[in-house]
Amino acid sequence: MLELRSVRGTGGGPDKTILLGARHPYRSPIAVTVCYIRDRRDDVFAIDRQAARLGIDYEEIHERHSFDWTVWPALRAVVKRRGIHIVHAHDYKTDLAAWALARRGLAIPLSTAHGWAGASARERFYYRVEKQLLAYFPRVIAVSSPIKAELIRAGCRPDRIVLVPNAITHREFVRNPDHREPARHEFGFGEHERVIGAVGRLESEKRFDLLLEAFARIHARWPWSRLLIAGEGRCRMELERIIDRLRLADVCRLLGHRPDISRLHHAFDLFVQSSEREGTPNAVLEAMAFETPLVVTDAGGTRDIVAHGVHALVVPPLDVSALAHAIESALADPEASRMRASAARRHVETELSFERRMDRVEAIYRELITSTAQRDVA
């Protein structure tokens, strides 16, 4: 089975899922190769190093630009050399590649639809084409209910779409009370300060601009509050300008890409997701596993993994006042916040465990292989 993906930079939630899935101990004899189409101009790319740390069978196909035709023969060579049966694609470029391979009888196509977060005219065009293309796939995995509904609206047959929300390897994300003080000391925070944290790519759909606006209101009432945002992306300069305009430079930091997620969560008192669009947010799953109290927006598949008042405080997207009010409520009642965080941890240990997710994905692989073999015999 070939996990096929094209992405720039350090990747995001889908890439964590791909890499962790590749090292999952399947019950069936499944050999997984992870293959990334990598732009030679991308000097921030980091998936190869992550794959190496995890000991994953990993390959790369290099492209000179976005429409480099030499990618196609290189991909066919990988599929033939590896004896690939299923190509599992994860974005519009690799969906097209998986479909083309299937048209030539080289592999069975499968796609996971992680969402359509880009807002540019070019991205919207690609997304329309992708959704139409996925209607020809025998199976499509949707990571959230809104994504499944969007695929159906675009013409995909409901019986071909399988809802499999993202999940987390909860045993690798565990809060240790002894780590709190050293983590906070690293960032220069005292016990009296309340640290609000956020993690994600600095892209428009994450709406960190609205989080900054909400935090400015919070800080006016809670002067000992602090904000850390971990991640990198195209909106960094814009966010820096907002921080300067709101005069938050002394109490808010953009940390850039941080691989030490555990360190961050041990410094956080509260985690906030401010997105207007999401698939199933891995950053929220990580916060749930670390028992970090949560304030989230009702964006995309977030409601598939948390319930308002049970696991988190959930507010409408794009509503700065609601976001600020929820943050203040979570800070003002730490006991209620801790109870929701404990419930969130239990949720990722059971319904949202990575093992349960991969059992469902493995069942899809077996179904595709079995149905293809039966069709060949017939």
The pTM of the full predicted model, rounded to 2 decimals, is 0.79
On whether both 363 and 303 belong to a single domain, the answer is: no
Query: Measuring CA to CA, how many Å separate 30 from each of 142, 199, 372?
Result: 22, 33, 16
Contact between 286 and 173 under an 8 Å Cβ cutoff? The reply is yes
On whether both 286 and 298 belong to a single domain, the answer is: yes
On whether both 186 and 86 belong to a single domain, the answer is: no
On whether both 73 and 53 belong to a single domain, the answer is: yes
Whose tokens are 């030539």? That residue is 104
How far apart are alpha carbons 357 and 349 in whole angstroms? 12
On whether both 110 and 204 belong to a single domain, the answer is: no
Query: What pLDDT, on a 0 to 100 scale, did the predictor assign at position 122?
Result: 85
On whether both 20 and 32 belong to a single domain, the answer is: yes
How far apart are alpha carbons 273 and 326 in whole angstroms? 12
Tell me how long the chain is.
378
Contact between 219 and 188 under an 8 Å Cβ cutoff? The reply is no
Domain count, the chain: 2
On whether both 256 and 312 belong to a single domain, the answer is: yes
Query: What pLDDT, on a 0 to 100 scale, did the predictor assign at position 378?
Result: 39
Query: What pLDDT, on a 0 to 100 scale, did the predictor assign at position 212?
Result: 98
On whether both 112 and 177 belong to a single domain, the answer is: no
Q: For residue range 313-335, what is the model confidence (pLDDT) as tens digits?
A: 999 999 999 999 999 999 999 99
Q: For 62-76, what is the HEC assignment?
A: EECCCCCCCHHHHHH
Q: For the chain, what is the HEC assignment?
A: CEEEEECCCCCCHHHHHHHHHHCCCCCCCCCCEEEEEEECCCCCCCHHHHHHHHCCCEEEEEECCCCCCCHHHHHHHHHHHHCCCEEEECCHHHHHHHHHHHHCCCCEEEEEECCCCCCCHHHHHHHHHHHHHHCCCCCEEECCHHHHHHHHHCCCCHHHEEECCCCECHHHCCCCHHHHHHHHHHHCCCCCCEEEEEECCCCHHHCHHHHHHHHHHHHHHCCCEEEEEEECCCCHHHHHHHHHHCCCCCCEEEEECCCCHHHHHHHCCEEECCCCCCCCCHHHHHHHHCCCCEEEECCCCHHHHCCECCCEEEECCCCHHHHHHHHHHHHHCHHHHHHHHHHHHHHHHCCCEHHHHHHHHHHHHHHHHHHHHHHHHC
* CATH number reported for the structural domain that contains residue 253 in this entry: 3.40.50.2000
Query: What pLDDT, on a 0 to 100 scale, did the predictor assign at position 347?
Result: 96
For the chain, list residues with pLDDT below 50.
377-378
The identity of residue 181, as a single letter, is: E
Contact between 144 and 304 under an 8 Å Cβ cutoff? The reply is yes
* CA-wise closest residue to 86 among 48, 137, 52: 137
DSSP run (H or E) holding 128: helix 121-134
Range of the domain at 91: 2-167+354-377
On whether both 127 and 186 belong to a single domain, the answer is: no
Query: What pLDDT, on a 0 to 100 scale, did the predictor assign at position 376?
Result: 52
Query: What pLDDT, on a 0 to 100 scale, did the predictor assign at position 43?
Result: 87
Q: For residue range 122-157, what is the model confidence (pLDDT) as tens digits?
A: 888 989 999 999 999 999 999 999 999 999 999 999
Instruction: Count CB neighbours of 96 within 10 A.
Output: 15
Query: What pLDDT, on a 0 to 100 scale, did the predictor assign at position 66?
Result: 84
On whether both 193 and 111 belong to a single domain, the answer is: no
On whether both 8 and 116 belong to a single domain, the answer is: yes
On whether both 53 and 141 belong to a single domain, the answer is: yes
